[in-house]
Amino acid sequence: MRAALRDDHYTYRVTWSPEDGEHVGLCAEFPSLSWLAPTPGGALRGMRQLVAEVVADMEAAGETVPEALSVRSFSGKFVVRVPPAVHRELALEAAEEGVSLNRLASAKLTR
């Protein structure tokens, strides 16, 4: 029962697969899994059931189960490496706009 409750918090998505001619259910926390079905609802139901089974198997084997993105804490910080020329351009743009480089990068990422 524990796995059935936890899998409801995972991040699911359904998209169309032109290669397969069916809808495919996906789960962000389990990128190696997918489920094909003729309808979006079927793809989602199948994927949720598959995730529940995988979680139950992982728990039974004593493996670490991925934490759902929806309950994970995020600091708001991450490091992005860019070429020095890009760093210089962004620093100049930030200075010209009178904002910090962080503020400029955040604004560009949220557009």
User: How does pLDDT run across 40-80, given as a tens digit for each residue?
Assistant: 999 999 999 999 999 999 999 999 999 999 988 999 999 99
Span(s) in the chain for CATH 3.30.160: 2-71
Task: Output the six-digit token pair for 96.
Answer: 């010209």
6 pLDDT higher than 60 = no
pLDDT (0 to 100) of residue 1: 42
7 pLDDT higher than 90 = no
Spatial distance between the Cα atoms of 25 and 44, rounded to a whole number of angstroms: 5
DSSP characters over 71-107: G----S-------HHHHHHHHHHHHHHTS-HHHHHHH
The total of other beta-carbon atoms located within 10 Å of residue 72's CB is 9
Tell me, what DSSP letter sits at residue 16? E
Is the overall model pTM greater than 0.95, yes or no? Answer: no
Contact (Cβ atoms closer than 8 angstroms) between residue 17 and residue 36: yes
pLDDT (0 to 100) of residue 44: 97
DSSP characters over 14-39: EEEETTTTEEEEEETT-TT-EEEESS
Assign a CATH topology to domain 2-71: Double Stranded RNA Binding Domain (3.30.160)
- 102 pLDDT band, cuts 50/70/90, is very high
Question: What is the Cα 91 distance to its own chain's centre?
Answer: 30
Spatial distance between the Cα atoms of 29 and 22, rounded to a whole number of angstroms: 22
pLDDT, mean of residues 79-91: 95
pLDDT, mean of residues 5-21: 87
